[in-house]
Structure 1
């Protein structure tokens, strides 16, 4: 690094130290120093979404082809199509604005007749273009809308206001394409916004400009949250909207919500978009002794703890579902339907007693006698009838949310129970069955099989289980909806979209093969309009294009003809790069690809946990999550090594950079086109995020190597670490510039706020500068003095609780017995021995009571072992020794529990037994927990739970 650069970094470090009061107690993992979240007033992308869809069209002024007609002189519509509900006014106005933006006269010139053809259904349309005039025909306003958009697309694709002569008929195969508002509240606690409810505030989340964009890109459905769960998992589904005979006290605030819902429905229908309410019903529970159960005993379903499921198989349960759906759809005319998570998240019917992966028990006196599919059939039939009696055109979409495995831990189930696959052929007539398209998808890397849960763009799918569901449904003509992700997914959700249309092509090709008629395009993230949503519209209609034609056509909508080929080539590299994303959900939830550019790089070890990628704050404590720490192995399953993760992330980053290289110079060439400049900025931001993610994993790999090395080679490793820090400073500054130009960058819809933003990026840059100025020189001095680096951290000179494992020897049968903490432990002790590549841990009672006297009770016991520093501790169940074995004596004690763990599972070798960290736990028959080291649970995290690595003590092999 040059002298000037060093001086600049040191100067910045001085400024940073001044900013924090030159405090030696500065903590990069504290939330106190992190700049405040940007206010909602700074969400400038909302204003962008509100803005007119058409502003200025720069035609290329190419020569008209022989088989084209020129519309540059003007367009005149003859609107002969009957439109009593005025649903086409918005698209006619949109065409007017298109003409104004392209300097085409509107109301004169080339004549286009808009006519009705009853033979065409829904969005199906026919366009006839002749020399003197043209015609758009459809049987429904939705078809006319798509036909007019088709004309605009053709002109944009050609680069000039020319249309090809001839006749084209487009028929939708994926008839319903449902998305979600990108910025509306998600109705969950813990985020900056609190628990927002879009049906209870006065904000318009569906401005006209936004709806027009969605409509242009083929979205014809939006889902609105009316059900969720609060911190106590209280019911907030239909009970938020209406009361019923069964739930007479429900519906508080319902009329206000229904009025807002009516407004949303009416406004969206003007753009051909239907509204679906998202629910998880029946979600009604009763405590034992509830007077409602006394009045309606057939409501009593399966028991869960001290709470009963509502049974939907009895008359009363059927009445509840019918009345609730009927009242809602009677109150909101033309409401599009319901998307109901019927199984898999909150408990709904008595079927919820059965996990999708198998096991469980239904205790309901009615449902326990039924095949599982029939339980769901009863529930869906009642809901569907109540809905359709009020609104015959509404659709009930029953979502089986079965994302397993979300964790690929040892022994975790990876397949679904057989009863799941009986549901498609036994779904009530007219009900749409929805299933996750990629959940269960598989990929082999490094000879290891990875299995994805929810949701995936990098691995297009479908999974084997979706194939089986779809084929079973086809046999009984049950319509199928594919739950997919479109613009982004949990893999990386801090950009508006990923430019990987090749992967969408693969999804829709499989959906077409399997006869999928509906799709839910996104969960809370992944709905931003643009390239990827437009791709789904093109792939939802016949005739279906081949991939190359599709990509070239898509590129031509946005880029000049001369550049489209290069853009397509870049997209292919982006798709190839993204397919290297590690196929494991835990990397989505805790990995550095979302917000790595604001992760501190900790050269001094902290043993600090990672924070969730998809939240700003905990739903349990409502406190903000701290910055992610140095325990990076928490972000991937133990079937993968850190080296393998680094390899995949490097391929992703390197290949993405190849794609970016193809776009060199485009920012300058398109400097007058803000939308295209922002597109390039999104690709660059992703390149920075992927490189940062790779750098973070590599940084901690090198850091751990450095701490365990001896000799002069440590200087070279420290130099590598320093280079990573410097690279992150530089790329962080570039991302600041991109963020200031594009307010979408860093925004995570499920977090309802920003995971990174300019001020936080600068905070992290200053943290890195401080590390260069303080930590790097300190470690270099230690190396110069030939000192061990952080020996208390590596176990070379352990601090805190220490236990010893001895080689098993007949000459020393007693070994070192260790006390548990607390009075509950009594005379229980534990010890560790090893022999023949196996670690042996035992718990014994040393009460010195004779045989036949009551010994200390141990109902069960377990060992937690951290196989390597920073890796999540693994749980091993100890085998309790039965009373029949009470004569098994160990010196003066009685063996109570034991376990043998192969060294191979802990990556230990007899010749080099490095210290590991452990905790030992025993559970007594009277419900007490006895531990070696006192536990201090962390705030709960999905999959990772409350495990706190700092509760572990050292086990040293003697």
Structure 2
């Protein structure tokens, strides 16, 4: 994903209340009628199903204005077992999942009750939490308040059918790892290990990563949501990581002095917590880096007493013009203050042209600013980086300042900016950006993060060359674990692609890696590949992969595992890559995405709701080509799975057996995601044929696809039950939970029944056999 940074709070004090009902002040967009889910008896049953064990039965009863036993009756009728609800313990990691699964079921008033967010908090989250309202399609479906009413005999009967359908497909009962169990697992420290053992500081170059489960918001005033517990730091260091990054908002972290007295509320508390975090990280050879995306734009009222500092305005916000000397002074001095107070920090990396409105050139609109309109674009962008570097280095000359070229000149060539950068910064580029690729006969270029396309691409190579000409160090922004090609799993076993990319970067002479964005931060074996190349730059791809396979699975498995990795890598290179596909197609949800016999009319959204919008999934690929490419990915991936299964059957030590079993689960889950996208796309193509010209042939194909989706959902359900990481990604939280896969089974069973009725009616009317 692009660096979507809105999920980090601008400043809570600026979120002031304003008049009106929640329906009028929370964003609604086009406000179309909500979808109905006919596989449930009614909306009440759908609500209980989707929220069971996420929130308590008591809370659901309060929201529905009924008794707790009435909610439990509905749940028990559908075969749901009661467990300890998740929301009280993981409210910060679960509220996006709750909003998504209830978006079509509840109006805003009840979403507020369910998530325990205030109206201002929900409004702010939808606008600023990683562009959440955009992910939800920039619309709120229209739905009436949900209240309990006594179910009819027909509803109870349909609930009993749901019980039977689920019971018929999921046998025997499976063990389950509690959701979010991975947080506890990653937080545990191996007491037998020396903290400095395998410390991330070994080897050359920056190796920077985010937290796999970092809670967005303000962790520096909420230590309970520590994104970097000791156990995670230890595990990252063992994979060669020597830097972790944390987003901060500068006006929260440093006081503003006489010019900006509003800034710096609780900054001393934040800095004290940051200092403690940085000191803990140092025990593992890891430094903390701050992500600086400044200066943040402010509401118009902020400039009432300082109109000379206002730059351009956009969507209700106005830039703090960086051509103003007071603004320049604040940027620089605030960073000096931070590094004086927390000298343990390793440095910063910057984005100066992100989706967030910051400097007047950040969105290419500098012409609207009376001062910046007279200055070259490159001068403004480079100056912001210079101000940041001066502030940091005034306090700590050895700190790293990494300038990320994301968005410069609209992602085009930016040698003009590089030529203006100060000499004490490093230049970072997304390695694979701009790489030309061809998939299924469709030619395109990489315009997002990609694992399936092996970089570096022409833009990065040109920018690194320009930086080297100036004597600047270079950093490659890469994704070794996962991308939006499939982010619902912690990592993908495409080791050949990772190793080839790492080898290419070695040859290109880059000086360090940023290993992830907010996704792809798991301490996986993929990270070890980059670490091995950093320890031995002359190593070959074959040497690195053979060594990794031997260490993780044992000597006797090396040949089979290597063939499996190659199979996965070859298959993944068939992925129909395009920005529209990675954002809008249903690979994040796999079999959890519901099917419909009638078009919903809803457009797919950015990693939020794929719906049944095959055209929206496809980008430049004809829908038939998109489906065929996912079929190719799934078919090739299955060959790798078979080889990995053979390796698992060989005798091994307990640790090797455990590693292979764990990795096989993730590989199987990936296969089911790719296969399901192909099956869903094929279903939608056939659905349109059925609606235009029904025939026995199309009917049988539709039935077959529904039965295959039932099998895929049941198989992924079994895997997700035993691995709590499946379906999770930090910025989107849980895309799906095991019970959503059971809902897909119910959904497909209902469609099979409806299709059979339609076919019988057509048979009687036309006599087709």
**Counterpart for residue 178 of structure 1:** 208
SS at match of 1:34: helix
Distance 1:515 1:21 in 2: 58
> Distance in 2 between the 1:497 and 1:679 partners?
9
Distance 1:528 1:471, change over 3 A: same
Which residue of structure 2 aligns with residue 840 of structure 1? none
CA distance in structure 1 between the aligned counterparts of 2:574 and 2:767, rounded to whole angstroms: 37
Q: What's 1:402 paired with?
A: 407
Q: Cα distance, 1:758 vs. partner?
A: 1.6
1:459 is paired with a residue of what secondary structure?
A: coil
Residue among 715, 722, 747 paired with 2:703: 722
1:191 equivalent in structure 2: none
Does 1:768 pair with 2:762?
Answer: no
Equivalent of 1:254 in 267, 279, 282: 267
Structure 1 CA distance, aligned partners of 2:582 and 2:211? Answer: 22
2:116 is matched with which residue? Answer: none
Cα deviation per residue 1:726-783 (whole Å; 9 max; x = unaligned)?
122122222122112211111122112x2122211112112212222x2121121133
- Between the aligned partners of 2:490 and 2:411, the Cα distance in structure 1 is 33
**Aligned-residue offset at 1:587:** 1.5
Alpha-carbon distance, 1:341 to partner: 1.1
Alignment equivalent of 1:576, drawn from 570, 578, 585: 570
Q: Distance in 1 between matches of 2:488 and 2:600?
A: 27
Given that 2:599 and 2:612 are in contact with CA atoms closer than 8 Å, whether structure 1 keeps it comes out as yes
CA shift in 2, pair 1:440/1:238, >3 Å = farther
The DSSP-based 3-state class of the residue aligned with 1:525 is coil
State the Cα distance separating 1:445 from its structure 2 match.
Answer: 3.4
Q: Which has the higher contact order (CA 8 A, sep 6+)?
A: 2
| Correspondence for 2:661 among 654, 674, 677 | 677
2:125 aligned residue:
none
Q: Judging changes above 3 Å, is the alpha-carbon distance between structure 1 residues 344 and 632 closer, same or farther for their aligned structure 2 residues?
A: same
- The residue aligned with 2:383 is 378
3-state DSSP class of the match of 1:588? helix
* 1:86-125 deviation digits (Å, cap 9, x = unpaired): xx95135x8xxxxxxxxxxxxxxxxxxxxxxxxxxxxxxx
* Residue of structure 2 in register with 1:239 after alignment: 252
SS at match of 1:539: helix
**C-alpha distance in 2, partners of 1:315/1:546?**
52
CA distance in 2, matches of 1:586, 1:681: 28
Q: What is the SS of the residue equivalent to 2:383?
A: helix
Match of 1:589 in 2: 583
Determine the C-alpha separation between the residues in 1 that align with 2:713 and 2:196.
43
Quote how far apart the aligned CAs of 1:513 are.
3.0
Contact 1:453 1:584 in 2 (8 A): yes
Deviations 1:887-935 (Å, cap 9, x if unpaired)?
xxxxxxxxxxxxxxxxxxxxxxxxxxxxxxxxxxxxxxxxxxxxxxxxx
- Checking the alignment, whether the CA contact within 8 Å between 1:326 and 1:389 is kept in structure 2 is yes
Q: Which residue of 2 aligns with 1:601?
A: 595
Give the Cα–Cα distance (whole angstroms) in 1 for the partners of residues 530 and 408 of structure 2: 23
Q: Secondary structure at the match of 2:225?
A: coil
Quote the offset at 1:247 in angstroms: 1.7
Tell me what 2:712 maps to. Answer: 731
Please give the root-mean-square deviation of Cα atoms over the aligned residues, in Å: 2.9
What's the counterpart of residue 91 of structure 1? 196
**Cα displacement string for residues 217-237 of structure 1 (whole angstroms, at most 9, x for unaligned residues):** 01100011213xxxxxxxxx4
TM (norm. structure 2) is 0.74
Alignment of 1:839-878 (within 5 A): none
**Is 1:50 aligned to 2:44, yes or no?**
no
Mapping of 1:516-915 within 5 angstroms?
Answer: 516-613=510-607, 615=608, 628-637=610-619, 639-669=620-650, 672=654, 673-709=657-693, 714-752=695-733, 754-772=734-752, 774-786=753-765
Instruction: From 495, 498, 509, give the equivalent of 2:492.
Output: 498
Gaps of 5+ in 2: 1-36, 55-85, 91-177
Q: Indicate yes or no: 2:442 matched with 1:448.
A: yes
**Distance (Å, rounded) in 1 between the aligned partners of 2:379 and 2:600:** 53
Aligned with 1:204 (options 226, 238, 241): 226
> Deviation string for 1:453-477 (max 9, x for gaps)?
2211111222222222111111111
Q: 1:700 to 1:31 in 2, by over 3 A?
A: farther
Question: Is the 8 Å Cα contact of residues 341 and 398 (structure 1) preserved in structure 2?
Answer: yes
Rounded to whole Å, the distance in 1 between the matches of 2:255 and 2:713 is 50
- Is this contact kept in 2: 1:403–1:436, CA < 8 A? no
- The Cα shift of 1:204 comes to 3.5
| Cα pair distance change 1:748/1:660, threshold 3 Å | same
Q: 2:245 aligns to what?
A: 223
Q: Distance in 1 between matches of 2:678 and 2:194?
A: 51
In 2: Cα distance, 1:142 partner to 1:740 partner: 33
Preserved contact between residue 318 and residue 378 of structure 1 (Cα < 8 Å): no
Deviation at 1:516, TM superposition (A): 1.7
1:768–1:304 distance in 2 versus 1, CA, 3 Å: closer
Distance 1:788 1:640, change over 3 A: farther
Closer, same or farther: CA 723–281 of 1 in aligned 2, 3 Å: same
Q: Which secondary structure state, in structure 1, belongs to the residue aligned with residue 361 of structure 2? A: helix
Q: Distance in 2 between matches of 1:201 and 1:51?
A: 17
Q: CA deviation at 1:44?
A: 0.8
Q: How many residues align?
A: 608
Q: How far apart in 1 are the matches of 2:391 and 2:522?
A: 33
In 1, the alpha carbon distance for the partners of 2:540 and 2:322 equals 47
Gaps of 5+ in 1: 1-19, 56-87, 95-140, 147-170, 188-195, 228-236, 355-359, 405-414, 616-626, 790-958
C-alpha displacement of 1:31: 6.1
The residue aligned with 2:158 is none
Structure 1 SS opposite 2:277: helix
Q: For 1:645 and 1:352, how far apart are their aligned partners in 2?
A: 35
- In 2 relative to 1, CA 523–417 (structure 1 residues): closer, same or farther, beyond 3 Å? closer
Q: CA deviation at 1:487?
A: 0.7
Task: Give the helix-richer structure, 1 or 2.
Answer: 2
Distance 2:316 2:540 in 1: 57
Correspondent of 2:328 among 315, 318, 321: 318
Partners of 2:440 and 2:574 within 8 A in 1: no
Question: What is the aligned partner in structure 1 of residue 282 from structure 2?
Answer: 269
Distance in 1 between the 2:742 and 2:646 partners? 27
1:351 match: secondary structure? coil
In 2, Cα distance between equivalents of 1:22 and 1:495? 28
Counterparts in 2 of 1:184-199, with a 5 A limit? 184-187=214-217, 197=219, 199=221
Is 1:327 aligned to 2:357, yes or no? no
Q: Residue deviations 1:835-856, cap 9 Å, x none?
A: xxxxxxxxxxxxxxxxxxxxxx
Displacement after TM superposition at 1:245 (Å): 3.7
Any idea what SS the aligned residue of 1:91 has? coil
Q: CA deviation at 1:22?
A: 9.4
Which residue of the other structure, out of 324, 333, 343, is the alignment partner of 2:353?
Answer: 343
Q: For 1:664, what is the secondary structure of its paired residue?
A: helix
Q: CA 1:788 to 1:508, structure 2 compared with 1: closer, same or farther past 3 Å?
A: farther
> Against the structure 1 CA distance between its residues 725 and 393, is the aligned structure 2 distance closer, same or farther, given a 3 Å change threshold?
same
